[in-house]
Chain A
Amino acid sequence: MYLQLAWRNIWRNPRRTIVIMTAVVIGVWAMIFLGALMRGVSAQMVKNGIATLTGHIQIHQRGFRNDPVIENSMHEPEMVEALLAEYLPSDARWSPRVRVDAIANNARHSGGLTLVGIDPEREAGVSFIGQAVVKGEYLDAGDEYGIIVGQALVDKFETKLGRKLVFMSQDTERDIASRAFRIRGVFRAEMEATEKQYAFITKGAAQKMLKLGAGISEISILLADYEDAESVADNLKEVIPPDSYEVETWRELLPLVTAVLKMYDWFIYIWYLVIFIAMGFGIVNTILMAVFERIREFGLFRALGMKPLWIVKEVLTESFFLLTLGMIIGSGLGLLSIHALADTGIDLSALSEGLEFVGMSRVIYPVIIIRDIVVANLVVLVLGIAVSAYPAIKAARFTPVEAMART
């Protein structure tokens, strides 16, 4: 009987119902859609961070992370590599690297960047560089003088494919190491900063240049699923001697990203609350109006013997219908608009310089997380009904005499 009564009551004044329902629809849509965009931004940040030479797990010589100089590199990587081959899940891929800060020079320009010595074949499966070469070609394992640089660096140095760049750095004997490389390939990356930051040579060339022998700076591991990083890292920590090596997951390697992720979690909930507060006043107001309009009716109910609690239930059911209808339509619209943007994303190239500062991509793709949608709807429903309790209780408090007295 409540259901029927409530349903009919909300359609007694269709215009008012539609107005308040629109408010709910827009609120829910905004929660879901903007929440998905935020999740999209953070997912891209994680993806960029992991693809830009982080991987899911990294192994370093102890001390390298605090002071990433060439002296702190891993001198005997064979031992670690043997352990990895034994203990990593079979679908994990890993790649050794030499990483050093260097100065690039040509006749007219010079600038600092990170020189990364890679095993071309292994690296292709681990980081972005395998798919990122747009001009020229990828490195061959035996290429002693080849280098791959980013498009932005090529523009900055006014150079091109086949031209020479001279790199200077400090070798293991603390002398100045310099070596000339020819540009074999040009890569493009999601972010311009990456294009300017990294230049890739073969591991062998880097080891020769820096007199590093067989030494490497790090091993980067990519797992099938990034959620497994912690458990795999824990397994590795047990077998790899902890006094000489550090095993870290991307959460530890990218502290900024991890912090931003945590912040975004709270951000989204605060965002939900803010939207709800705006919406909640509308709901209270509408229900209150509907209640005051029907004072005589409620008086009559009471006179006929309806308990106050039943009246509360009846009013709450009305608000439940309003909210549920709004939520269904709002969620539907939200999902539809996310779906519409799933392929194209939102292109923010115009703002890219500012965005890159915080590690965001040029294009944002919304990401749906079921939990967010559930939380959004629950917030609206629970808090919506909670705020409707005020008019409902007000309605239940009218005594028949009082009600009849009002005309």
Chain B
Amino acid sequence: MRSRVVMRLVSREGKVRYMRKRVALILSFIVACFFFFCGTLHAIDVEDLVRDAVNYYRGDASFSTVDMTIHRPGWERTLTIKAWTKGQKDSLFTIVAPPKDNGNGTLKRGKEMWMFNPKVNRVIKLPPSMMSQSWMGSDFSNNDLAKSDSIIEDYTHKITGTEIHDGKKVYVITSMPKPDAPVVWGMQKLKVREDLIFLSQEFYDEDLLLVKAMTGTEIQMLGGKLFPKIWKMQKTDKEEEYTVLDYGEIVFEESLPDDLFTISSLKNPRR
């Protein structure tokens, strides 16, 4: 009897020891895997990382309500915008507040843009001459909107560093324009968190001096996924001039109907 009990105890002890070993093995395997995985990320998947990050923040399709605050040395104003996006190419923006600007809208399909002003009841297609002007007086140019997928198509990316933010790994990506790409920037620097969230996008001129930067902060659950609630676009040499986008509500959808991104829905915005 006694000896049996002792035997059992010994065997149990052995089992525990064995279990511990296994856990350690699995853990080290996971860690090894992780490092291995990161290693391959460094070497191969930068392009995918950027593409995935762009896709992550745009989603397949989305609907959002955004407060856009334009800040200037002498004044500040806030517009409330409803935005629908689909894929990388199509977007529709409609201003709902303040009442003065209610109904003003912008439609983007591919690289083309149209604007609608309810006061004159006219849709104009943006000519090339207006593409470099600012959108609704903000620090975003029409080009920033029209060529939002330019970062994927016109640049080559390289991971030049990693940082830790809030306990998560952040990749610092240096993006250089392809030799003959029709882009004005000399370099862009992206910070992408490992869970594909864009933290910042910096725009440099050809002397590699910073011109303007967009940063995303207050990452929280929005529309079912983590998303920076506040986006700020700031020109470098002008402290007092910036534009802040504050996402109030965002809904990611699987798809939106194509007929949403048409001139008639630009004229008759959905409520």
Contact = CB atoms under 8 A, between A and B. Distances in A.
B184 A145 contact: no
A148 B256 CA distance: 46
**Range of interface residues on B (Cβ < 8 Å):** 20 to 34
A108 B211 contact: yes
B132 to A, nearest CB: 4
A103 B180 contact: no
Interface in A83-113: 102-103, 105-108, 110, 112
Nearest to B237: A108
B186 A145 contact: no
Interface string A159-179: 100011011111000011111
A180 B182 contact: yes
Contact of A107 (B128, B131, B205): B205
B128 A178 contact: yes
A168 B205 CA distance: 18
B30 to A, nearest CB: 45
B159 interface: no
A163 B206 contact: yes
B184 A107 contact: yes
A174 to B, nearest CB: 8
**Range of interface residues on A (Cβ < 8 Å):** 20 to 34
Nearest to A101: B129
Contacts, number: 58
B111 interface: yes
Contacts of B111: 175-176
B184 A166 contact: yes
Contacts of B114: none
Contact of A103 (B112, B128, B204): B128
A106 B181 CA distance: 13
Interface in A133-192: 144-145, 159, 163-164, 166-170, 175-180
B183 interface: yes
B203 interface: yes
A105 B182 CA distance: 10
A145 B183 CA distance: 13
A110 B128 contact: no
Nearest to A174: B125
Contact of A168 (B132, B185, B186): B132
A103 B205 contact: no
Contacts of B131: 103, 168, 176
A179 B184 CA distance: 10
A110 B184 CA distance: 10
Contacts of A108: 205, 211
Given A106-B184, A176-B111, A180-B180, A164 B206 contact: yes
A105 B203 CA distance: 14
Contact of B182 (A107, A159, A163, A178): A178
Contacts of A159: 206
Contacts of A106: 184, 205-206
Given A105-B132, A107-B204, A166 B183 contact: yes
Contacts of A164: 184, 186, 206
B127 interface: yes
Contacts of B204: 107
A178 to B, nearest CB: 4
A163 B186 CA distance: 9
A170 B128 contact: yes
Interface string A15-52: 00000000000000000000000000000000000000
Given A105-B143, A169-B128, 6 more contacts: A102-B128, A105-B132, A107-B185, A164-B186, A170-B128, A175-B111
Interface of B: 111-112, 127-129, 131-132, 143, 146, 180-186, 203-206, 211
